[in-house]
Amino acid sequence: MFERFTPEARQVVEGAQQQARELGHDRIGTEHLLLALLTRQGTTSSTVLGRHGLTRSAVATDVARFAGSELDASALTSIGVDLDAVRTSVEAAFGPGALDDQGDRRSRTGHLPFTPRAKKVLELSLREAIALKSRSITDGHLLLGLIREGEGLAATVLHDRGVDLAALRDEVRLALTP
């Protein structure tokens, strides 16, 4: 389905994979698409998102908070588990870094799969393009797809940041109208 994507939109999709990898996640979710949209400066999507006060670093912080699979040492301390002690014991037997996430190493090669919601975003971006009578799918259509999907982590982040999704959608549509 990527043949109708503009080069910029393709770069966003590839960028989403990169974002997921850097975060050590094993699937591409809506949040990685949002991060990829924000990473590319000067595009329709990043310009409109910027007007709503969204930056890559702010969203990255939110995503890490929601999606982080890291071990939360202070939370574990609250139930009497000393993560440092566990780490020390495990590393004594298996060597340094034995307790680190091995998933990110696995996911550094090959393509990561999309989550069902991220797939839905890609499908919806095609529908948005058709609705706006556009022959190609641009980064702006991807953002519209992200907004219309409305349930993934990207939508949650936007909502929690107080972004007016209806206004955002209207602005993107306006920017995409020739």
Q: Which residues bind to another protein, rule: CB under 8 A?
A: 69-86, 90, 94, 98-102, 105-106
Shortest distance in whole angstroms from residue 93 CB to another protein: 8
User: Of 83 and 165, which has the nearer Cβ to another protein?
Assistant: 83
Shortest distance in whole angstroms from residue 117 CB to another protein: 20
Shortest distance in whole angstroms from residue 61 CB to another protein: 16
User: Of 11 and 156, which has the nearer Cβ to another protein?
Assistant: 156
Cβ 66 vs Cβ 31: under 8 Å: yes
User: Of 85 and 166, which has the nearer Cβ to another protein?
Assistant: 85
Strand, coil or helix: 5: strand
Cβ 13 vs Cβ 3: under 8 Å: no
Convert 73-89 to b/e letters by CB count within 10 Å (16 or more is b): eeeeeeeeeeeeeebee
Shortest distance in whole angstroms from residue 65 CB to another protein: 10
User: Of 51 and 108, which has the nearer Cβ to another protein?
Assistant: 108
Cβ 79 vs Cβ 47: under 8 Å: no
Non-local (6+) Cβ contacts of 114 within 8 A are 27, 28, 29, 122
